[in-house]
Every structure is written in structure tokens, then in C-alpha cells.
Chain A
Amino acid sequence: MTGDSLRARARPAVTDAGLNATVGAATRHLTTERIKAFEELANGEELRVSARSVRERTLARLPELLGLLADRVEAAGGKVFFASDGAEACRYVIEVARRRGAHLIAKSKSMVSEEIGLTPALERAGLEVVETDLGEWIVQLAGQPPSHVVAPAMHLNRRDIAGIFARHGAEGIGDEPTVLTAHARRELRRVFLSADVGISGCNFAVAETGTVCLVTNEGNGRLVTSVPPVHLAIMGMERVVGTWAELDLLVSLLARSATGQALSAYTTMVTGPRRPGEVDGPEEFHLVVLDGGRSAALGGAYREALHCIRCGACLNICPVYRQIGGHAYGSVYGGPIGAVVSPLLCGDEFRDLRLASSLCGACYQVCPVMIPLQDLLLQERRDAAGKAGRAERWLWRLWARAWGSSRVYRLSARVARWGARLLPGRWVPRWGAGRDLPHDPARWGRREKGRPGGA
């Protein structure tokens, strides 16, 4: 989305005290809620271990499960479209909308649709698209991308939001969250009742029955799947699960990890369009299954990134995300998982996101499916190091050899002690700016008598 570097994008974010305060408070709150939600379980850790296994088995059987899913969706009266990339997916959605003579599309939150730029594509085709998740609607009105996979407007405070609403015709309603929310309810209710097509994402799809499962709190997910005459769901192909037992496990983990709820307000399970005898619901149901770089990732070193269930817990705990917020990542996927999946799904320009990590591993500790994110980020750095110039590699090799000997190490440490005052700031300005050398480098990493564990 941007040609500039991570460093350039992060710089204004780091010094934006308002942003730091808003994002910091929100992420700390969600982290605390998550901990509380797991405390009511006697086997939270066991669930994570089981979920990691489930995700691994699922990906290994992906072609079979997707085939079964498609069969079952079709048996329930739905249509399935397999899209090899975002452009193909967008074309299909436009085709469906045109065939129905649609003008207005009500959309609930879907990260995949952000990933493929569905809304701009539909708008270019002359359709009006309204985001109906409150946070998504706010950022849509503001002309911004979402900054968090679960809370898209996390970077905005109530005054920002009141200002955005005021610019769109709601002046003088103040900045009380309940009033702002009531305004959104009124405005969006009209959209739900007159929309020609409802578009939703898909948190999970259960292959054995052909069911799309949506996890939402506001009810907009229920509305877009219930009121307009056409419901179109779009999913990344890794969102499939084999059985309802697996869904039980993963939904329990998703809601707890995302917002600290045992379950979100609405867990909606859609199997095909309205049936004969049912009083409401859409006449048509379409499921778009997107590859978009996923099949390549499946065979690569970062396959585990496809285990992600998009709960956002790793964003909330990440010291880097807390500092810079979502927009500085430049990708629709921010935080530790975003740093890993963005180059896989959104393009090579996001390779530098591997640097947006302290490698502290807190992300792995909270991940409901135990993706070893810090290992994947390290692997990316290793891959990048492999592309370093010959001189640079030769230099590092020499350094490794030298510090392998304790005599050379001590000698260099002694030199460093003298150099310490000069070195960081002046010689390596960028690296040194954030670091001070220990004041007695001769002791680095050495065990000393009487000091267990060394200095």
C-alpha cells in the first residue's frame, strides 16, 4: 500500500503520544480480559496444544476438506467459487451483484476482503458498499484502512470519531460512545433493510456439513446474512475445519483470545440459502474460497502462519504493536502475525516487517494455536541474511570465529571498553541511537567466581 519503509512509517507513530495512549490502553485492556477468560478453564493450555494439532492436521488434508466443503455447500443449495487470486474473487462478486441488478451492498467485517481490496473493486464497478461493523464503518468514513484485525478503529478515540461523524452529517451529537453508537445503529439499519447483497467473511467453515461460521458481537454479521436477498461469504481457504468438534475447540479459543469472552455475542452458522418453509433469509448463497498466495505458503517454510485464526491476541501483547499501532505496518495484517503473513499473502514489499519485532516471544505465549511466531520471524531474518553481500557475510564469519576464542573475546572487550564512549552514537548512528554498551564490556556473558549465572 505504501512505497516507503517500515522505519519511515513507524517514525511518526512512535512519537504520536495520543496514538500511543489510545492503542496502549486498548491492547492492555484486551490482554487482561484474555487472561481472565482463560482463568475460568481448568485446561486452557491443553486446549492450545490440541488446537495446534488440529490446525496441522487440517492443513495436511486441505484439498480433501475443501472438496468436501464445496460438495456440502452445493448440496445445501449454495454456490461455491474457487478464486486463485484476489482479482478473480473480486470479478466473481461483481458478476453476482450485476446479475442481481444490485446497487447497494452491506458488508460485515472480513479481513480477506481487505486483503484483496474488495470494497474499492466493487466501488470501481459502480456499486455502493457500506461497511456495517461499527469500527469498520468509522474507518471507512474516515477513508482509512483498519488498524487491528479485531478492533479496526482501535487507533481512534471518541473525539476523533465524533469528528468523523460530524464531517458526515452528524454534527453536534457530542462524543458519548452510547450516542455515537446509537447514531450508527440508525444510519446502518436503513442500509441493512435496503441492501441488495450482503457480504460477510468466514471465521471457520465446517466441511462435514458445508457450514460457514461467523463470530461477531454487534449483530451486523447476522443482519448481512439474513436480510438482503443474496448472501455472499468470502474465506481464505485455510479457514476450513473438518468437524463440529474441531469448531467447538477453535471457537472457544477464538472468542477468549480475541476479546476475553467465553463466546462472542453471536456465533452464526450458515448452511446454504433459505429453505422452503423458512420465513426469512436470502434466496442465494455464495461461498468464495480464496487462494491468494496460500497454496504457495502451504509448501513453504512459513506454513504454520496459515494456522492463524485471526484473534489478534499477538497484536495486543506485542511491545512493537503497542508502540506503533497497526497502520505503521502498512499492511492490512499488522502485529507479529502480520509481519509473517503479509509477505506471503500481500506481496514482497512487506518483507521488512520481520524487523518490527523484539523477538521476545510473547506472541507465541498467547497464540491460541501456538504458532511459534518468533521462530518464523527469525527464519525470515535468516533468509534475508542469506541474501546479504559477500563482504558482509565474510565480516560476520570473521567476527564469529574471533569471539569463539576466549582470549580474543577478552581482548576485544577491553578495546570495546575504550571505544564504548565513542562507538554507538557516532559510528553506527542508527543502531547505536537506541543502545548503550554496558559500562564494563569485559564482563559480557562471562561466568565469574561467586556470581552464579555470571554478570
Chain B
Amino acid sequence: MERDRFLARLSASLAEARPRANRAHPAVVCDEVVPAVYRRSLEDLPLAFCEAATREGACVRRVTGPPGVGELLAEVVRSHGVRTAVLSGDPETQGVARELQALGVRVLPWDGPHAAAEADLGVTGAVCAIAATGSIVVAADRAGGRTASLLPPVHLALVPEQALVATTAGLWREMEGFFPRGLPSQVVVITGPSRTGDIELILTRGVHGPGHLWIGILGAGGPDRSMG
């Protein structure tokens, strides 16, 4: 149907509407779009983030400087027997390729989804992280795009501590601040590993996305760029 006719039909229906007041359960007019307020304190953002993300099933480490990142990479590689990896080109992942190679991991050249589907591990940065929900936010305009954080069975995200916000409002009500040049074609808020409850509501991890999510919170100053 043509757009104008479609919308005109709607307008006509709205104009005819005689909404009946519901006396039993009247609507309360509330002009404010109220943000969620948490009972627990979110003042210490890294701490609140670690607690929430851990509860959601992620493995969180607070790391400082290149040695810290190196230790985290070694732990991830050891835990999952990682042999191949794909990397995003985010600033946070500078130097990661060399570290991984030193650990005997083959870093696959990026050719889109098919390389990512072959890899044991995907390493990406993040646009921001949300303390209250333990979420990290990835965006498609950064190299690594949509699939480096999606197709490998293990995802490691490196997030600078300064990128932490308290609640989802800090992201969704500030979208313009995060994406001043307009939104990339895809932004994903990731909260814990891929999961399903579709069989008897039993929590099962890793159904289509990564079954293991590791998050490195990079201490003040972020990773040392000289590492790369």
C-alpha cells in the first residue's frame, strides 16, 4: 500500500476514535519518561560492573597496562584451548595480535563472517559498558564489525574504565554523544554470553552466539599504545 494512503487511513481512524475513559483503572498522565533507579549503590562503577557482569555469566578481570592484558589473554587462551582468533581493529585491541601470536595463536586475516566463523576466539573493543546491567556495547562501524564478537565460541572484550556508565540511560539517553556522526548500521548491547531457556527453561549457554564472554576492564589510562 502506498505510504500516504496508509498513514491517511490511520489518521482517519484516530480522528474517529472516541476513547472511553476507564473508570476502574484510569491512566495517570506522566509526562516524564522515567529512568530506572536501582536500590543498590552504583557509585563505584567498575565494582558494580564486575558484580553485575559476573552475575550474568561473564568472566571479568580488571587489568592494568600491557602486562595485565597479556596475562588476561594467556588465561583466555589456556581456559579454552584457543588456536585461532579474529581481532577487531579497535584502539583497545592494539598490540593484541602480537601477544596472541606469542601465545601460539594463529590470528586469522579478516575477510568477514567466514573468518570469524572459523576462529576459536574473537577479541574486540567496546563503545561503552553499563555498570548496573553488566553489559558491554559493540558497534558495527569499528573494524571487527558485527561478527567478530558473534561467531567465535569465545568473545573477549577490552573496555577502558572511562567508558563505564551507570545505567542503560547513560547509553540510550546519550546516543548522540556516543555517535556524534550518526548511528552505525548496527549497535549491540551484550549482557552475558549467548543463552537460551527454550528447553524446560533450563539455562543453556552458547546457543548461537559465544558461550563464553570475557571482559577486561582496562585500568585508568587504557592500554599502552606502544605495545602495538
Interface positions of A (Cβ within 8 A of B): 22, 25-26, 29-30, 39-43, 46-47, 49-50, 52-54, 56, 60, 62-63, 66-67, 70, 76, 80, 82-84, 88, 132-135, 138, 151-154, 157-158, 161, 177-178, 180-182, 184-185, 188-189, 192-193, 209, 211, 217-220, 222-223, 225-227, 237, 243-249, 251-252, 259, 261-275, 277-281, 285, 289, 291, 295-296, 298-301, 303-304, 364, 370, 372, 375
> Is there an interface contact between B150 and A222, defined as CB atoms closer than 8 Å?
yes
> Is there an interface contact between B9 and A271, defined as CB atoms closer than 8 Å?
no
State which residues 184-217 of B face A: CB under 8 Å: 184-202, 204, 206-210
Which residues of B are found within 8 Å of A211, using beta-carbon distances? 183
> Is there an interface contact between B144 and A279, defined as CB atoms closer than 8 Å?
yes
Which residues of B are found within 8 Å of A29, using beta-carbon distances? 201
Which residues of B are found within 8 Å of A299, using beta-carbon distances? 12-14, 16-17
Known: A151-B201, A222-B209. A70 touches B3 (CB 8 A): yes
Which residues of A are found within 8 Å of B185, using beta-carbon distances? 76, 270-275, 278, 281, 285
20 contacts between A and B (CB under 8 A): A26-B200, A42-B37, A42-B39, A46-B34, A50-B30, A63-B8, A153-B199, A161-B199, A247-B172, A248-B172, A251-B168, A261-B191, A265-B56, A265-B192, A266-B188, A267-B188, A267-B189, A270-B186, A280-B147, A301-B20
Partner of A184, one of B22, B141, B207: B207
Which residues of A are found within 8 Å of B8, using beta-carbon distances? 63
> Is there an interface contact between B30 and A138, defined as CB atoms closer than 8 Å?
no
Known: A84-B6, A263-B189, A272-B185. A49 touches B168 (CB 8 A): no
CB-CB nearest in chain B for A57: B31
Which residues of A are found within 8 Å of B24, using beta-carbon distances? 372, 375
Q: Digit string of B19-53 for contact with A (CB within 8 Å is 1, else 0)?
A: 11010110111111111111110000000000010
> Is there an interface contact between B189 and A245, defined as CB atoms closer than 8 Å?
no
Which residues of A are found within 8 Å of B168, using beta-carbon distances? 248, 251-252, 263
- Contacts beyond the supplied A188-B208, A275-B184: 10 A-B pairs with Cβ under 8 Å: A63-B10, A184-B207, A211-B183, A222-B188, A245-B172, A271-B186, A274-B140, A279-B144, A289-B6, A364-B25
State which residues 114-157 of B face A: CB under 8 Å: 114, 117, 132-133, 135, 140-141, 143-147, 150
CB-CB nearest in chain B for A28: B201
How many chain B residues touch the partner (CB < 8 A)? 83
Interface check B220, CB cutoff 8 A? no
Partner of B204, one of A50, A80, A178: A178
> Is there an interface contact between A278 and B207, defined as CB atoms closer than 8 Å?
no
B150 to chain A, nearest CB (A): 5
Which residues of B are found within 8 Å of A188, using beta-carbon distances? 208
CB-CB nearest in chain B for A60: B14
- Could you tell me the distance between the alpha carbons of A26 and B201 in the complex, rounded to whole angstroms? 6
A93 to chain B, nearest CB (A): 15
> Is there an interface contact between B207 and A219, defined as CB atoms closer than 8 Å?
yes
Which residues of A are found within 8 Å of B188, using beta-carbon distances? 222, 266-269
> Is there an interface contact between A220 and B147, defined as CB atoms closer than 8 Å?
no
A166 to chain B, nearest CB (A): 15
Which residues of A are found within 8 Å of B210, using beta-carbon distances? 219
Which residues of B are found within 8 Å of A261, using beta-carbon distances? 191
